[in-house]
Structure 1
Amino acid sequence: MNSFRKTLFACGSVILTACQSGLEQPATTPLAQPTPPSESPRATPEKPARQPSEVFDFQKLATLNAEIREAIAEGKLPGGVLWIEHDGVVHHNTFGYRALEPVREPTTLDTIYDAASLTKVIATAPAISKLIEDGKVRLDAPVATYIPGFIGSGKESITVRHLLTHTSGLRPGLGRRPEWHGVAKAIEFAEGEELRAKPGERFIYSDINYILLGEIVHRVNGRDLRTFAREFIYRPLRMPDSGFLPSTNKLSRIAPTTRQEDGSILRGVVHDPTSRRMGGIAGHAGLFVTASDLARFARMILGEGASDGTRVFSGDTVALMTSNQAPATVSSKRGIGWDIDTGYSGPRGLHFSKSSFGHTGWTGTSIWIDPPSKSFVIFLSNRNHPTEDGTVVQLRKRIGTLAAESIKGIDWLAGKDGKDARLAAKSINGTDEALNGIDVLKRRGFGTLRGKKIGLITNHTGHDRRRNATIDLLHRAPEVNLVALFSPEHGIRGKLDAKVDDGRDDKTGLPIYSLYGSRRIPTAEQLKGLNALVFDIQDIGARFYTYASTMGNCLKAAADSGIPFVVLDRVNPINGSSIAGPIHTGESSFVAYHSVPLRHGMTLGELARMYNAEKGWNAQLDVVEIQNWNRDAWLDETGLPWTNPSPNMRSLTAAAFYPGLGLVEFSISVGRGTPKPFEIFGAPYVKENEFVEELRKANLNGVEFTPVRFKPSSSVFKDESCGGAVLILTDRAKLKPIDLGIVVASTLQRLYPKDFALDKVNKLLRHEPTLEAIRAGRSLAEIKALWQPEFEEFLKRRKRFLLYP
């Protein structure tokens, strides 16, 4: 985890404040706070604080502020507090009202909110983590070790880890009938619960888990959760407004929640009914917080357990808390309390990394922390005041997206910080770092290439995990004689969208031979004298992405010339286990090189093995295998950096859509010439509202459609106003991009048969039966049935060439 600047409030944060009526000129006055007693005088002065204008895009912040106000105007919430922080610089803003009834009260920065389920990650999970750190609780100990009555019906096998990760199998909450009160009664009911699933089998978000954890805190250390959290977390971190059962002198600052049946408004009393029955101190709900207090907590997490000179947790404990602790059999990823990647991860937005984490609360609260970018976002609201009619689910997602986009110096499309291209060294599964072939080769001292004269097929994506170019690494490697470079489509630097010419590398002086110009295969003359041909390019996982075709041509040329061919393998960025689409029919081409589906679920090293065997080339093939990669993992789950593999492939989200949406790129605009290629699409003849309404009828999983008009500056329908849709990825685990592509083509054909160029779809689809089924108006299920015989055969063929679990 990246270390965060140690001081923020003590040495002066830069604060950017925007008033409710609009964005103001940023203030840069430090917030004065007492120096902690344990902090020693500094031997050297701090570097000057950056100005807000250096850190935040004011225009993007204005857009964010406007969207929150719009949600307030629509009655989705009465108001709220927003806090965005990046590397020690803060933007905060207040919106609307903290109270609408009985009288209106404007929101202030120090408004205290009912945190709801944030209690789990700001109180209960940290308390348990502290006890684990102190050796008083064991993560994999049975819950019955600490609560002996928690036995029967299979509960004996439920561990503390199961409770923390919501994989215990317990149902979501305790019943409310018959009427009951008190902590003891709640634990009694929990002890009598039947399991909905076997422990470790399923993710079921459950308040009962955290009710039990709160009781474990009490039984192990003799203090209730309220006292323990105050003494060991909030007081050391100087979080004065955080705690359970807030005092009456804070009542005027507390945001009320719902109106009760008797007409009274809950204020200063926890909203959660179960927590109220337990007296307001419970492991699942009951905490009250301010945004500034939560910011202190988030800084401590980014500081690996320390903030403002005070250490609360060890770095190892924070790493444990914030890495995936769910059983390997469960796809939903949870840390010690923290949500990492589940259906509740909306506040991450579209940009924060998969090594980020956070949580939400029923009342409208959320926090999301992104260590790779040294950023966090807090949004506190009381969306259920005065009734439960409010909602902030979509708003929180937009806040996460726009907050990330407001931070300057980070290319979210490329997935890297402009100043530090390294991502987290560990994957979110907490395993050893993933290594592509070039990293493995480097660690082995380039042994297989020593003493050889080599040619290298590569481009800008050929680099190690620290972005050192493979060209430079091999050029400097001892006893390796790099004598020639070969470039694929888009050129050696990945910036060209047309024909690529021969050239010379400015840095090394080596000749560059184009494989995407007048020729696409290395000539015998170019290979003469070489002892090996090395390939290192990042693929995208779709059949018609041409880098795999370039590799195939070069493998064949190496076989014909009798020289070894070495593939420095790379992870499939959209995972290596999802497979879909028809096997192409007819002759092979540069966009349909071999008999594989549109989404093949293989690495280039595995494809090379398939090509070599099935085409009978018998090349001397050597694949330098990836290390520490599970083929279910996407690129951003490996810690490996993203590099745009081609000019219009600018994000992993675009890559997720590409195998399907790419099918229509010769017929309509797919966003080339816009900031979001393959995330926006349309045509001049499309009526966007009508079009989106029809697309939504397909009920596709993992994606949402928003109507839009746009004008692409290049490619199909250049400079023409197009109606169409923006794609919003909601759950990539459920997304089926080929289904998306077929539905888009079918909808365009059904609505606009005279305008839509259906025949052009076959340039990349290369499956005539599917094309004719679309023309005939067949259903998606009927179309997919056409693929099955060849698809099943491919699965059998594929197995023998796979290299990774």
Structure 2
Amino acid sequence: MNQSYRRRPLHWAAAVAALLLVSSQASAEPLPQAAASAVAMRPGFSADIDRAVAEQLEAKKMPGCVVVVGRHGSIVHKQAYGNRSLQPEVEPMTLDTVFDMASLTKPIATSTSIMRLVERGDVRLRDKVTKYFPEFAAHGKDDITVEQLLIHAGGLAPVIATDKFTDDTMESMLKICEMEPVAEPGEVFKYSDLGFLMLGAIVQKASGQPLDEYSREQVFLPLGMQETMFNPNEQLCQRAAITEQVDGTWLQGVVHDPRARKLGGVAGHAGLFSTADDLAIYAQTLLNNGQRNNVSVVLPQTLREWTTPREIAGNKRGLGWDMGSVYSRNRGETMSPKAFGHGGFTGTSMWIDPELDLFVIFLSNRVHPNGKGEVNDLAGRIGTIAASACLNSTPEAPAESSEGKVAQGPVKLGIEVLAANHFDVLEGKRVGLIANHTSCDSQRKSTIEILAEAPEVNLVALFSPEHGLKGVEDHANIGDTTHEATKLPVYSLYGETRKPTKEQLDGVDVIVFDIQDIGCRFYTYLSTMGLAMEAAAEQGKTLVVLDRPNPIGGKLVEGPVLDSGSESFVGFHPIPVRHGMTLGELAQMIKSEKSIDVELIVVKTEGWHREDYQYSTGLPWIDTSPNMRSLTEAVLYPGVGLFETTNVSVGRGTDTPFEVLGAPWIDGNQLAEKINAYQLAGVRVLPVQFTPTASKFEGESCGGVNFVITDWDEFRPVDLAWAIGSSLVELYSEDWESKRFNRLLSNRAVLDALVGGAGPQELKGIYEADLAEFQKRRSQFLAY
């Protein structure tokens, strides 16, 4: 933190009052999280936000950001991306990062305070500024009103030279009073920091308290916004996003705006700091007619006046809010006319839409490290995605589970159930953990850290699957390493061996497996678990599987069953392409059907139902491997992924792996038309041109198709595979090399029929009986 900038000391009496107020307030609980479907939003919209952010991170438009979307009183998207600092050292962005709000100070602190004073009769919108500052009448400014300052129609200049200010607020306001107007009051929209500097001073004149004290005592603390303040304390500064370097010192927890900084960090136009959780509370309070937990920030009629648009020369502004002006690039294009919001120079924005019962918060430090970042268009794009995902204006009733009971509360993962049971099955045992970056609880605390900290657990070794412990390796031979934090050995199960060896297990009593699968037979984490089970049986060890939901659901089963004798590392057991089981359930099936003599313990998840996709669980998406970057891609993978062993690109080396398919010899328009002719449910196929930057056809322009899921309940990825395959055979039989297609398909009868020209329905008929038999086999192992 920069100590060279003076922070205004809080008067001792005010400090005592604030302390007493804090002690009398319970910290507000963060808003609950819900699945998109529970609040009538299109499933999968979060993946669209992820892609939009990823593009801008790659273009270096910002170091990182936090995005929060809320609807009907719940959070439906909450994600941190990238880094919160690049200099003087790299530090990852976190959800609790503290941001310099910049001009979001105007509505959140200043206009909120003004409207509270209006509501109490201490200020009137029609009041002339000269009522509070008689000196303001200079140069014909005597008729300018409080309302005109709030809507930037006061005719004041945008800024004043910093050297005009002193560290005394009232003395500095007199400098503004001396200035000539630059436009006729009430006639021109002229965005002005000076107008809000005056408004901040009016708060102090009318209330007897400086803006920082008044807003904190009257607004933030009553709502439980304990991390929203001017001049953040030392604890908050430590997790503040760094902005720019001034006089050789990086600004962290010190306001970026030079005029606010000159005023000791408190000003009506800038200086506020806050977090995503606190802003979500604020936004939801306004959506609740200004009320939260028996606390009223403003009354409904005051809120209505506050957010009624005023039109000034074609610009629509609320009282401190933007509603539709030349500064509205960060507004979602499909938000309703009632939406109101604001942005900040440092890279912040918040928009609230009462008609959609929606809020969208975008927080970044785009000015870091060199002031050249740009995020307004991204913030607006995210707002558009969120608003467009709203399916209606009222929440749907909670869906019933397969047992006819309404699902209650969030899903509890196997690791969380284990911890709640005080690690009973591991107590007194030496534990070897098979894990990677997906091994964590619902708050993203790693399973490694959880077990290492548990006094009941003796964690002695780690094992990593394909892609390594961090999930970023994308080559065929990964070596052993050492875990940095715990100094434990990390034995690679995707290198010289893919099964734990006797030597590696000599000091281990229990093997714990905790990795997120994606529900597809040829995803190799299943094979790693199966081989670990065999090793445990051979070495007399116990295997504990910490179960996790199947992210693409546990109800639907698709595709041909693997041919007996075709088992491999991408086909460990005779199951269909989309098996509809959790790894815990599959462990029970493999133990039984392979007659593996092992003590197997499955710690079940709680609160998950078979029909639930991940978007219904409230659990965060974590890229399960370098090219599995969204739930959309996981759902497409059982179909599109089948083709990656052939001579087509499935999007590796693009931003959207498994969402596209193509090759230099494919005509995208022709292929899209052919696939769409099969009239597949829940998906549309669009022509596309793309150039992979890695993997197959690196640097070559590929014609191809893009798959857009339009109905998640109806879409069947393996049906899409047959439509793709049949189209390739018909259109490009001389170009498409199908000989390696069976590497992942692992069903010779279906391959022969496909290459022979069979259509999708005929292909499905070949394995219909095998699929029905599998359904019977799996029924005895289903735990949910």
TM-score (norm 1): 0.54
Q: Could you say which residue in structure 1 is the equivalent of 2:725?
A: 745
Matches within 5 A, 1:258-273: none
- Cα deviation, residue 619, structure 1: 1.2
2:696 aligned with 1:651 = no
The 1:470–1:53 alpha-carbon spacing in structure 2 relative to 1, beyond 3 Å, is closer
Give CA-to-partner distance per residue, 1:206-260, whole Å, 9 cap, x none: xxxxxxxxxxxxxxxxxxxxxxxxx974544435648xxxxxx99x9999xxxxx
Identity %: 38
The 1:435–1:8 alpha-carbon spacing in structure 2 relative to 1, beyond 3 Å, is farther
Contact 2:562 2:574 in 1 (8 A): yes
Give CA-to-partner distance per residue, 1:625-677, whole Å, 9 cap, x none: 10111121121221211111100001111111011100001221111111111
Q: Could you say which residue in structure 2 is the equivalent of 1:509?
A: 487
Q: Could you say which residue in structure 2 is the equivalent of 1:500?
A: 478
State the distance in 2 between where 1:769 and 1:733 align.
Answer: 29
Matches within 5 A, 1:307-326: none
- Cα deviation, residue 10, structure 1: 5.0
State the distance in 2 between where 1:290 and 1:787 align.
Answer: 48
Name the stretch that deviates more: 554-563 or 725-734: 725-734
State the distance in 2 between where 1:15 and 1:547 align.
Answer: 58
Superposition RMSD on alpha carbons, in Å?
4.8
State the distance in 1 between where 2:636 and 2:357 align.
Answer: 25
2:215 aligned with 1:42 = yes
Give CA-to-partner distance per residue, 1:43-98, whole Å, 9 cap, x none: 5894489x99989xxxxxxxxxxxxxxxxxxxxxxxxxxxxxx96999xxxxxxxx
State the distance in 1 between where 2:758 and 2:783 align.
Answer: 38
Matches within 5 A, 1:783-798: 783-798=763-778
The 1:370–1:439 alpha-carbon spacing in structure 2 relative to 1, beyond 3 Å, is farther
State the distance in 2 between where 1:784 and 1:31 align.
Answer: 69
- Cα deviation, residue 729, structure 1: 2.1
2:107 aligned with 1:9 = yes
The 1:533–1:28 alpha-carbon spacing in structure 2 relative to 1, beyond 3 Å, is farther
State the distance in 2 between where 1:735 and 1:30 align.
Answer: 55
State the distance in 2 between where 1:292 and 1:692 align.
Answer: 37
Q: Could you say which residue in structure 2 is the equivalent of 1:238?
A: 305
Of 524, 527, 534, which residue of structure 1 is paired with 2:505? 527
Contact 1:488 1:547 in 2 (8 A): yes
Of 294, 299, 310, which residue of structure 1 is paired with 2:339? 294
Q: Could you say which residue in structure 1 is the equivalent of 2:757?
A: 777
Residue 758 of structure 1 aligns to a residue whose secondary structure is: coil
Contact 2:584 2:602 in 1 (8 A): yes
The 1:8–1:434 alpha-carbon spacing in structure 2 relative to 1, beyond 3 Å, is farther
Matches within 5 A, 1:251-650: 293-295=338-340, 367=356, 369=358, 406=381, 431-498=408-475, 499-587=477-565, 588-650=567-629
State the distance in 1 between where 2:278 and 2:600 align.
Answer: 52
- Cα deviation, residue 584, structure 1: 1.1
The 1:613–1:754 alpha-carbon spacing in structure 2 relative to 1, beyond 3 Å, is same
The 1:548–1:407 alpha-carbon spacing in structure 2 relative to 1, beyond 3 Å, is same
Q: Could you say which residue in structure 2 is the equivalent of 1:108?
A: none
The 1:672–1:10 alpha-carbon spacing in structure 2 relative to 1, beyond 3 Å, is closer
Q: Could you say which residue in structure 2 is the equivalent of 1:715?
A: 695
State the distance in 2 between where 1:496 and 1:291 align.
Answer: 45
State the distance in 1 between where 2:780 and 2:192 align.
Answer: 62
Contact 2:541 2:599 in 1 (8 A): yes
Matches within 5 A, 1:16-165: 29=193, 41-42=214-215, 46-47=229-230
- Cα deviation, residue 477, structure 1: 1.1
The 1:512–1:254 alpha-carbon spacing in structure 2 relative to 1, beyond 3 Å, is closer
Q: Could you say which residue in structure 2 is the equivalent of 1:344?
A: none
Contact 2:480 2:490 in 1 (8 A): yes
- Cα deviation, residue 547, structure 1: 0.1
State the distance in 2 between where 1:27 and 1:656 align.
Answer: 47
- Cα deviation, residue 616, structure 1: 0.5
Residue 369 of structure 1 aligns with an amino acid whose one-letter code is L
State the distance in 1 between where 2:636 and 2:594 align.
Answer: 30
The 1:548–1:241 alpha-carbon spacing in structure 2 relative to 1, beyond 3 Å, is same
The 1:403–1:450 alpha-carbon spacing in structure 2 relative to 1, beyond 3 Å, is same
Of 643, 655, 662, which residue of structure 2 is paired with 1:675? 655
State the distance in 2 between where 1:238 and 1:88 align.
Answer: 26
Give CA-to-partner distance per residue, 1:369-402, whole Å, 9 cap, x none: 3578799xxxxxxxxxxxxxxxxxxxxxxxxx98
Of 696, 706, 709, which residue of structure 2 is paired with 1:726? 706
Residue 707 of structure 2 aligns to a residue whose secondary structure is: strand
State the distance in 1 between where 2:592 and 2:361 align.
Answer: 42
State the distance in 2 between where 1:785 and 1:596 align.
Answer: 17
- Cα deviation, residue 764, structure 1: 0.5
Of 746, 756, 759, which residue of structure 2 is paired with 1:766? 746
State the distance in 1 between where 2:441 and 2:626 align.
Answer: 20
2:666 aligned with 1:686 = yes
Residue 698 of structure 1 aligns to a residue whose secondary structure is: coil
State the distance in 2 between where 1:296 and 1:238 align.
Answer: 15
- Cα deviation, residue 681, structure 1: 1.6
Contact 1:427 1:637 in 2 (8 A): no
State the distance in 2 between where 1:801 and 1:673 align.
Answer: 38
State the distance in 1 between where 2:363 and 2:106 align.
Answer: 13
Contact 1:474 1:482 in 2 (8 A): yes
State the distance in 2 between where 1:512 and 1:53 align.
Answer: 35
- Cα deviation, residue 537, structure 1: 0.5
State the distance in 2 between where 1:620 and 1:402 align.
Answer: 56
Q: Could you say which residue in structure 2 is the equivalent of 1:350?
A: none
- Cα deviation, residue 743, structure 1: 1.1
The 1:480–1:89 alpha-carbon spacing in structure 2 relative to 1, beyond 3 Å, is closer
State the distance in 2 between where 1:640 and 1:30 align.
Answer: 45
Contact 1:666 1:716 in 2 (8 A): no
Give CA-to-partner distance per residue, 1:125-154, whole Å, 9 cap, x none: 989x99xx99xxxxxxxxxxxxxxxxxxxx
Residue 708 of structure 1 aligns to a residue whose secondary structure is: strand
Residue 567 of structure 1 aligns to a residue whose secondary structure is: strand
Residue 491 of structure 2 aligns to a residue whose secondary structure is: strand
The 1:769–1:253 alpha-carbon spacing in structure 2 relative to 1, beyond 3 Å, is same
- Cα deviation, residue 11, structure 1: 2.7
- Cα deviation, residue 575, structure 1: 1.2
Of 683, 697, 714, which residue of structure 2 is paired with 1:703? 683
Contact 1:708 1:726 in 2 (8 A): yes
Q: Which runs of 5+ in 1 are unaligned?
A: 17-25, 56-85, 91-120, 135-230, 243-248, 256-288, 298-306, 309-357, 360-365, 376-400, 413-425
The 1:671–1:469 alpha-carbon spacing in structure 2 relative to 1, beyond 3 Å, is same
Name the stretch that deviates more: 467-476 or 539-548: 467-476
Contact 1:12 1:30 in 2 (8 A): no
- Cα deviation, residue 501, structure 1: 1.1
The 1:15–1:530 alpha-carbon spacing in structure 2 relative to 1, beyond 3 Å, is farther
- Cα deviation, residue 769, structure 1: 1.6
